[in-house]
């Protein structure tokens, strides 16, 4: 990327979006640490080599998570607009870019309508690039959903939810013997109470007690009623940011080798 490139701003926006995602990943870890130990273990001995564990969070999702998610969404979404504007201006297009924007639609037909109107100054090659991105519901790159998330964030905080608790270390005592249990996924219906059924090594029996050693992370997902509901935020937005980067590379290639269409 160079300052002389018409797509430099898009690259900067993608980078900033990824910085927000890195902040979110750190916040996920810190949130788990400050929650502390809230495991509820069975009150009696192990039955049939398994026991149930419940974990209860103390706090609702911190509001600062919502601002990080919203900022990441907006920066990645804006990168596509920056590219669309550059594609309509010389030397790639024939207009001034004032009315240009990255087109999306509620369905493929609406997308095509927007493509013809707000991107009519772009070349045929540029419009084909946009068509391949499928920015409508059901498109493989989730760009219409990204657009809807950005719109939603203009009116309400994108408060995510906890979809999964990943416990990668859990030491317990079973009948007085210390046992290190492997990774466990705790699932939840409400983002506050998480449950898992844990298998214990053969021969282990007796009452179960937490031994004090554990490590865990929360998986933060888009909240109820939001576009992409239930999908993990970090992984999903990282995937979309990769799509944005590839699109910028395509635009840069077209800039270096312009067509005559």
Tell me the pLDDT tens digit for each residue of 72-86: 999 999 999 999 999
If one compares 33 and 148, the residue with the highest pLDDT of the two is: 148
Reference 32, options 54, 52, 61, 53; nearest CA is 61
Using CA atoms, how far residue 208 sits from 52, 175, 198, in Å, is 10, 7, 11
Q: How would residue 43 be classed by pLDDT, with cut points 50, 70 and 90?
A: low
Mean pLDDT of 17-45: 78
User: Is 28 a residue whose pLDDT tops 90?
Assistant: no
Mean pLDDT of 74-102: 96
- pLDDT of the residue at 143: 98
Q: How would residue 261 be classed by pLDDT, with cut points 50, 70 and 90?
A: low
Mean pLDDT of 123-135: 97
- pLDDT of the residue at 141: 97
- pLDDT of the residue at 213: 62
- pLDDT of the residue at 168: 77
Average pLDDT score over the chain: 86
Instruction: Check: pTM over 0.95? Answer yes or no.
Output: no
Of these ranges, 70-74, 165-169, 184-188, the one predicted with the greatest mean pLDDT is 70-74
């Amino acid at each position: 990327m160079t300052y002389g490139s018409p797509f430099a701003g898009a690259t900067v926006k993608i980078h900033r979006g990824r910085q927000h995602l890195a902040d979110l990943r750190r916040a996920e870890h810190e949130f788990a640490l400050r929650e502390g130990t809230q495991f509820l273990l069975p009150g009696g001995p192990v039955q049939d080599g398994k026991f149930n564990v419940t974990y209860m969070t103390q706090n609702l999702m911190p509001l600062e998570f919502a601002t990080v998610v919203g900022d990441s969404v907006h920066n990645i979404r804006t990168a596509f607009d920056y590219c669309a504007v550059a594609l309509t201006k010389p030397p790639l297009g024939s207009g001034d870019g004032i009315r240009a924007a990255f087109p999306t639609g509620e369905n493929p037909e609406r997308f095509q309508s927007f493509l013809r109107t707000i991107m009519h100054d772009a070349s045929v090659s540029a419009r084909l690039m946009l068509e391949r991105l499928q920015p409508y519901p059901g498109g493989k790159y989730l760009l219409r959903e990204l657009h809807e998330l950005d719109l939603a964030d203009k009116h309400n905080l994108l408060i995510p939810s906890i979809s999964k608790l990943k416990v990668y270390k859990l030491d317990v005592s079973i009948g007085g013997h210390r046992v290190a249990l492997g990774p466990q996924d705790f699932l939840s219906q409400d983002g506050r109470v998480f449950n898992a059924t844990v298998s214990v090594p053969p021969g282990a029996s007796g009452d179960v007690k937490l031994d004090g050693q554990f490590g865990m992370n929360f998986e933060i997902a888009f909240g109820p009623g939001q576009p992409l509901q239930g999908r993990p935020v970090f992984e999903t937005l990282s995937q979309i940011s990769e799509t944005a980067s590839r699109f910028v590379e395509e635009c840069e290639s077209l800039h270096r080798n312009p067509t005559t269409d």
